[in-house]
Amino acid sequence: MSYRSGKQCMLKSSQIDRIPSRPVGLTMQRRAQGLLCNLCLSSPFCVILPEQRSLYELVMGALSSSLAGDQAGRRIRQLIDRNNRLAVATGNSKTSEGHLPPTIMAYLDSTVSQDLKMLGSRCLQLAKNTKQAVLELLIWSSTIYRVGSERIYVAIQIFTAWFHEGIDITACILSGLPHLDQVPHLRTRLVGKIVAELSRQGFFDLSVALRRFIVTGSTRRSPCADQACHSTKLCFFLG
């Protein structure tokens, strides 16, 4: 799947909406919306199209309304919100310092800056504390709504900058692991990549982590699903 697939799917859906024959049009519209919904759920990065904002709001807005109250509708609404943030960033080469988005994830989504040190400083300004900053950066870099290896690089560089500023990255990451169990569609493999690289560079203390997992019982089961918690998965990927 690619961005082109998402764009073509939206274009076809908007064209079907203009078909004058209602019975045929409604049947084709349901099929087009079903296809677009499946694309949103299976490959959300294909339907992030900030340069097609008017088309996006027309088609995705109708799809979100048709699924109002449904979990799929909520996920599509999240995609619409993210696309809007990126569309704003496309039209503004810099995010105004006096008008920062309300969350770290919104800020990282909307920024076009290449200054990683500045990004790290802004994230700390937006967070209530360093633990929250570390947790949100992990979630931003590891959920399915964002694609590409660049986000992993960005996260590692920001964590590195924070380490040199005196932040205990090991303690912050370990304190955030229980919260990751509640994050839908999180790719623990990506969290493992980040932590493994930080450990390799000496910014994450693996021995402290292993002792913590042993003491707390890292083989416990997640209370929300029949699967191992993220502590167990992280142990697997670091091994």
Distance CA 105, CA 79 (A): 13
The answer on pLDDT for 132 being more than 70 is yes
pLDDT confidence of residue 74: 82
Indicate whether 98 pLDDT > 50: no
> Model pTM?
0.59
Indicate the helix (H) or strand (E) that contains 145: none
Who wins on pLDDT, 232 or 160? 160
Give the C-alpha distances (Å, rounded to integers) separating 226 from 139, 183, 217.
21, 15, 16
Residue with the bigger pLDDT between 82 and 233: it is 82
Task: Look at residues 29, 30, 38 and name the one whose alpha carbon lies nearest to residue 1.
Answer: 38
Per-residue pLDDT for 188 more than 60?
Answer: yes
pLDDT value at residue 217? 63
Q: Which pair of tokens denotes residue 125?
A: 């300004």
- Highest mean pLDDT out of 39-53, 69-83, 168-182: 168-182
Is the pLDDT reported for residue 96 higher than 90? no
How does 62-93 read in b/e, with b if 16+ C-beta sit within 10 Å?
bbbeebeeeeebebbbebbebbbbbbebeeee
Element (H, E) at 114: none
- Can you tell me the mean pLDDT for 201-213? 87
Q: Is residue 102 over pLDDT 70?
A: no
In this structure, of 59-68, 82-91, 102-111, 228-237, the range with the lowest mean pLDDT score is 228-237
CA dihedral 203, 204, 208, 211 (to 10 degrees): -160
Task: Kindly tell me the sign of the dihedral angle through the C-alpha atoms of 137, 139, 145, 148.
Answer: positive
Mean of the per-residue pLDDT values of the chain: 76
Half-sphere exposure of 134 (CA within 13 A, CB side): 25
How far apart (Å, rounded) are the C-alpha atoms in residues 65 and 85?
A: 20
Which of the residue ranges 54-68, 95-109, 151-165, 211-225 has the most confident prediction, judged by mean pLDDT?
151-165
